[in-house]
Amino acid sequence: MIPDLPGLPPVGDGGIFLPIGCDIIDQCEIRISSGISSCISASDPCIRHRNGDVLPAQRLRMDSERFIRGKKKLNEMSGNAVETMIGNLDGIAPDLARYTIEFPYGEILVRPGLDTRSRQIATVAALTALGNAPVQLKAHIDMALNVGVTRKEVTEIIIQMAVYAGFPAALNGMAVAKEVFSERDRDGRN
């Protein structure tokens, strides 16, 4: 028997329990493992199923509040990146585009506590340190410059990553930065 979840009333034998106030399930990707489902986000309504049946996943809509909020934030930072991302993934992985817009941009980057500029500095540092995400690093260096980070600051962020992530990561990051700077010069952007 699967134990009841803390803080939620018991379901009884079988059936689905929707937490109080959750009357929609079309905004939750349902994954059932050992009879307990988990949702994409703790903020989405979650479902618990006792009889072990696998429920079909419900697709998040591109008009969800998180998607709209994320699209707005991403557009503020990069202009047409939302439409480009959706277009690049359309037909192969539209859900991936939606998740990428909803979670990082619709949940994390809109949180209070850090301004967008500071978040982009952290993102450029993290992606440089990872060393395996040149496409994302390129996009985020471009966004960092769009929100007020200077070229000199981008260069210093990447140099500092040599200490923590190693010289190969920093050298690769600098090559990406050089590419972004060249493209912006060619396009007449600072």
Exposed e or buried b per residue across 12-23, where buried means at least 16 C-beta atoms within 10 angstroms of its C-beta: eeeeebeeeeee
* CA gap 178, 181 in Å, rounded: 5
CATH topology of domain 114-184: AhpD-like (1.20.1290)
**Residue 123 CB contacts under 8 Å (≥ 6 apart), including other chains:** 140, 144
Model-level pTM? 0.67
Q: What is the pLDDT of residue 88?
A: 86
- Nearest by Cα to 15 from 45, 35, 41, 40: 35
Closest CA to 176 of 124, 116, 122, 126: 124
**126-149 pLDDT tens trace:** 999 999 999 999 999 999 999 999
Domain boundaries, the chain: 10-59, 61-111, 114-184
Check residue 34 and give its pLDDT. 28
pLDDT at res. 63 = 74
User: Cα separation of 130 and 126, whole Å?
Assistant: 6
From first to last of its 190 residues, the chain has per-residue pLDDT tens of 445 545 544 544 444 343 433 333 333 333 333 222 233 333 333 333 444 443 333 344 667 899 999 999 999 998 777 788 888 888 899 899 889 999 999 999 999 999 999 999 999 999 999 999 999 999 999 999 999 999 999 999 999 999 999 999 999 999 999 999 999 999 999 8
pLDDT at 84: 82
